[in-house]
Amino acid sequence: MMKYGSGIWLLIGCAGLAVAPAATAKESAPAPTAAGATSLAAAPALAPKAAPRTILFIGNSFTQGAHSAARNWHAGTVTDLNGAGYGGVPALFKAFCEQAGLDYAVSLETQGGKSLGFHYDERRALFDKPWDVVVLQEYSVLDRASPGDPAAYIRDVARMTALFEKRNPAVDIRLVAAWTRADQTYTPKGHWYGKPVAAMADDLRAAAERARAATPAVKGIVPVGEAWTRAMATGVADPDPYDGIAYDQLDLWTYDHYHASVAGYYLSALVTFGAITGVDPTSLGAHEKSADALGLSDAQAAALQTVARDELARLKAGR
């Protein structure tokens, strides 16, 4: 140990590590101010972290991810306003946002088998507050008593939009145009029986367009059903689950040929993600984490991402 001036230097071992001398009380004392108070150097202020963008999903079993492993997947990452513990499409959306470096606080309010009118009439106290984005998903055949009739849908989109605009005039409202139901297309009981597999999805898109035209504050449409149709047309998915699933193709429906399979919900969430954020779904990559967790292969994830990207590009081009 060697003394030097007012400090003490310690030489440690053969490595020669030196510890700087400690300042004396005189050296370390802060300078007094004119008023006799102590003057300390102000630490640089840290900018407050921006609040996450809020998004609310309102829908039914199609939003919940019913009859698939997606239903309760990562439910803890989103807020279920009903406390039912669903993850579904909202949780997939959240996972995609996190991987893309986007900060969204995701909530959902759902009830299986119900229309938007039910949510407005029975549940609006749960969601009557400001939101940045609201995604509305109507009952699959639009009107249970009169399949394909968009009248109630158009009315309820207008009511919902007025409610949310009152809370936040800048709210971004999107309408989900859902997929063709195989049971409505390939069985005699179906309203779209005997028509091409794209017919129901096309009608749902047309209904969404009418609702948007009637309520111009609606910002856009999420073309989920048309993405499903594209997946079938390009050979990614099989168009008819009743005659067996072709080798190396996906079945977008689950066992009831009504709700979606994991692949179907994954595609739905990809289209929603791309439509809302403007991020190319293929940027998530073949190794996207939720696809692997839910049992989709890298090739399947990449194929579905490409379908979503291409359908969104078509929508953007106005085709």
| Spatial contact of 260 and 298, defined as CB atoms under 8 Å apart | no
Q: What was the pLDDT predicted at 317?
A: 87
Q: Say which range, 26-35, 94-103, 262-271, 273-282, has the weakest mean pLDDT.
A: 26-35
Q: What was the pLDDT predicted at 319?
A: 64
CB burial of residue 108 (10 Å; 0-12, 13-18, 19+) = buried
* Structure tokens that stand for 52 in this block: 């996450």
Q: Which amino acid is at 9?
A: W
Residue 281 lies in a domain: yes
Q: What was the pLDDT predicted at 20?
A: 38
DSSP state, residue 312: H
Domain harbouring 113, CATH code: 3.40.50.1110
**Positive/negative CA dihedral, 195, 268, 115, 120:** negative
Q: What was the pLDDT predicted at 89?
A: 98
Quote the mean pLDDT of the chain: 89
Q: What was the pLDDT predicted at 90?
A: 99
With CA atoms as reference, report the closest residue to 294 among 97, 74, 59: 74
Alpha-carbon distance 234 to 42, whole Å?
62
Predicted confidence band of residue 318 (pLDDT cuts 50, 70, 90): confident
Q: What was the pLDDT predicted at 40?
A: 39
| pLDDT higher than threshold 50 for residue 28 | no
| pLDDT single digits (tens) 221-249 | 999 999 999 999 999 999 999 999 999 99
Q: Which residue has the higher pLDDT, 28 or 132?
A: 132
Predicted confidence band of residue 114 (pLDDT cuts 50, 70, 90): very high
Look up the domain containing 123 and give its range: 53-317
> What is the helix (H) or strand (E) element at residue 216, kind and residue range?
none
| pLDDT single digits (tens) 48-90 | 788 999 999 999 999 999 999 999 999 999 999 999 999 999 9
Residue 47 lies in a domain: no
Residue 77 lies in a domain: yes
286-292-293 Cα angle (round to 5): 150
Residue 29 lies in a domain: no
| Spatial contact of 209 and 221, defined as CB atoms under 8 Å apart | yes
Q: What was the pLDDT predicted at 12?
A: 33
Residue 38 lies in a domain: no
| pLDDT single digits (tens) 141-175 | 999 999 999 999 999 999 999 999 999 999 999 99
Q: What was the pLDDT predicted at 43?
A: 52
Residue 17 lies in a domain: no
Domain count, the chain: 1
Q: What was the pLDDT predicted at 27?
A: 40
Residue 21 lies in a domain: no
Alpha-carbon distance 312 to 306, whole Å?
10
| pLDDT higher than threshold 80 for residue 31 | no
HSE-up (13 A, CA, CB side) for residue 243: 5
Residue 40 lies in a domain: no
